[in-house]
């Protein structure tokens, strides 16, 4: 199985002698404006809490997520990073047959392999911008006696997102679980794409959210899940350890979900820069740029003049790291992905790509 994660900055720093702050990491899909300043201030004021146990009920944190998602706390599962919940949910369901989409985030496949599930791959079609065909998906579910469908929305690394209206009909029509990973949903139109409101109507649904990308808080390892299925909620919670969220994640989380000015600022900045970068790259003949509802963009080098690996290598001396997507199932060595960073770095990346591909 191929592994597909962003750059290990610690290794790059060691190998190339960069200071970690000098590296422009276009591979990890983290919001360049950083965490909410209000939340960071709160954290700074509370560093002395390092010796204190967090509130085992996470009352403040849950109130904050309730306000942010408009969902009541008896549907919210707290998790130490969304990867943790992906793992515990998959092992709990223990599906005999599960559908994953390719290309997609690699952890689902790893988790399903751990428990010997039969993995059925839905290979997304690049000629249709990696979109999902609902009839095809329903047919695959029925023909293969599928008990779990794992979907990322928007998808990583393609940037494609499916509308919640379409998801609603597939979820309602099929008697299997759907795990929808919404790690990147805040960069898109949430009302149109998030499946959270479907958890009221569909018992066979778990929505997973992360704070690593939009909230730029990967280091605190905080994620959450939402389900309207009481039994599923209880079964997952049963396996959750006391104090599974550390006190700093608790403090940061309690502030950042309600910092709505910051949410707006991040969304607008990323989408403005993304539009600019896409329109510049679309002018380069040898590159196909795929549409994206997230904070990253997938590109394909059409005339194969250089591989994504070679492009990445040529950018590294400038301390710019992009994602070579050759390791993703159903992509090849000519695909690369970059995320949106600060304006100056974005402009420099565009210039470098133009020069290298000239
Ligand atoms: C689709 C997707 N889900 C989950 C994760 C991991 O998120 P977390 O840091 O919350 O474990 C990533 C990380 O790249 C991802 O791309």
Q: Locate 69 and state its tokens.
A: 């998602």
**Ligand 1 centre distance from Cα of residue 28 (Å):** 10
**Ligand 1 centre distance from Cα of residue 199 (Å):** 21
* Cα–Cα distance measured from residue 345 to residue 328, given in angstroms and rounded to the nearest whole number: 26
What is the per-residue burial (b if ≥16 Cβ within 10 Å, else e) of 210-232? Answer: bbbbbbbbbebbbbbbbbbbeeb
79 lines ligand 1 (CB under 6 A): no
Point out the ligand 1 atom lying closest to the alpha carbon of residue 211.
10
83 lines ligand 1 (CB under 6 A): yes
pLDDT for res 1: 41
pLDDT for res 54: 97
* Separation of CA 254 from chain center: 21
328 lines ligand 1 (CB under 6 A): no
Q: What's the pTM value of the predicted model, to 2 decimals?
A: 0.96
105 lines ligand 1 (CB under 6 A): yes
**Ligand 1 centre distance from Cα of residue 183 (Å):** 6
Residue 357, exposed/middle/buried by CB under 10 A (0-12, 13-18, 19+)?
Answer: middle
| Closest to 223 measured CA to CA, from 185, 260, 261 | 185
Q: What are phi and psi of 163, to 5 degrees?
A: -70, 145
88 lines ligand 1 (CB under 6 A): no
* Cα–Cα distance measured from residue 287 to residue 357, given in angstroms and rounded to the nearest whole number: 9
Point out the ligand 1 atom lying closest to the alpha carbon of residue 210.
10
Task: Looking at 126-229, list the stretches that DSSP marks H as alpha helix, in order from N- to C-terminal side.
Answer: 134-143, 164-173, 190-193
Q: What are phi and psi of 285, to 5 degrees?
A: -60, -40
69 lines ligand 1 (CB under 6 A): no
117 lines ligand 1 (CB under 6 A): no
**Ligand 1 centre distance from Cα of residue 99 (Å):** 19
157 lines ligand 1 (CB under 6 A): no
218 lines ligand 1 (CB under 6 A): yes
**Ligand 1 centre distance from Cα of residue 209 (Å):** 9
27 lines ligand 1 (CB under 6 A): no
223 lines ligand 1 (CB under 6 A): yes
Point out the ligand 1 atom lying closest to the alpha carbon of residue 155.
1
Per-residue pLDDT of the chain (358 residues; tens, 9 = 90+): 444 566 777 788 888 888 888 899 999 999 999 999 999 999 999 999 999 999 999 999 999 999 999 999 999 999 999 999 999 999 999 999 999 999 999 999 999 999 999 999 999 999 999 999 999 999 999 999 999 999 999 999 999 999 999 999 999 999 999 999 999 999 999 999 999 999 999 999 999 999 999 999 999 999 999 999 999 999 999 988 889 999 999 999 999 999 999 999 999 999 999 999 999 999 999 999 999 999 999 999 999 999 999 999 999 999 999 999 999 999 999 999 999 999 999 999 999 999 999 8
Point out the ligand 1 atom lying closest to the alpha carbon of residue 29.
14
**Ligand 1 centre distance from Cα of residue 84 (Å):** 10
115 lines ligand 1 (CB under 6 A): no
**Ligand 1 centre distance from Cα of residue 210 (Å):** 7
């Amino acid at each position: 199985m191929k592994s597909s994660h962003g750059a290990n900055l610690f290794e790059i720093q060691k190998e190339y002698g960069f200071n970690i702050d000098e590296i422009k990491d276009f591979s990890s899909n983290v919001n360049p404006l950083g965490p909410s300043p209000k939340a960071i201030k709160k954290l700074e004021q509370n560093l002395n809490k390092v010796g204190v146990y967090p509130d085992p009920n996470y009352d403040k944190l849950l109130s904050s997520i309730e306000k942010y998602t408009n969902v009541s706390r008896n549907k919210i599962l707290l998790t130490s990073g969304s990867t943790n919940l992906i793992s515990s949910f998959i092992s709990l369901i223990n599906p005999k047959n599960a559908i994953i989409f390719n290309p997609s985030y690699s952890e689902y496949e790893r988790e399903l392999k751990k428990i010997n599930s039969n993995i059925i791959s839905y290979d997304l079609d690049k000629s249709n911008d990696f979109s999902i065909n609902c009839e095809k998906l329903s047919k695959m579910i029925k023909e293969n006696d599928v008990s779990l469908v794992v979907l990322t929305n928007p998808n990583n690394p393609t940037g494609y997102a499916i509308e919640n209206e379409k998801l609603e009909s597939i979820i309602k029509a099929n008697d299997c679980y759907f795990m929808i990973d919404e790690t990147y949903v805040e960069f898109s139109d949430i009302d149109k794409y998030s499946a959270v409101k479907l958890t009221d109507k569909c018992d066979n649904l778990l929505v997973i959210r992360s704070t690593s990308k939009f909230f730029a808080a990967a280091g605190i390892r905080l994620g959450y899940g939402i389900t309207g299925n009481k039994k599923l909620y209880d079964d997952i919670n049963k396996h959750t350890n006391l104090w599974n969220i550390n006190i700093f994640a608790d403090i940061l989380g309690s502030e950042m979900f309600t910092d709505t000015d910051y949410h707006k600022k991040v969304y607008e900045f990323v989408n403005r820069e993304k539009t600019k970068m896409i329109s510049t790259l679309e002018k380069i003949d040898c590159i196909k740029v795929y549409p994206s509802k997230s904070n990253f963009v997938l590109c394909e080098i059409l005339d194969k003049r250089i591989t994504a690996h070679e492009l990445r290598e040529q950018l590294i001396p400038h301390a710019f790291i992009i994602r070579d997507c050759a390791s993703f199932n159903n992509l090849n060595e000519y695909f690369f992905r970059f995320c949106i960073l600060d304006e100056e770095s974005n402009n420099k990346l565009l210039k470098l790509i133009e020069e290298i591909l000239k």
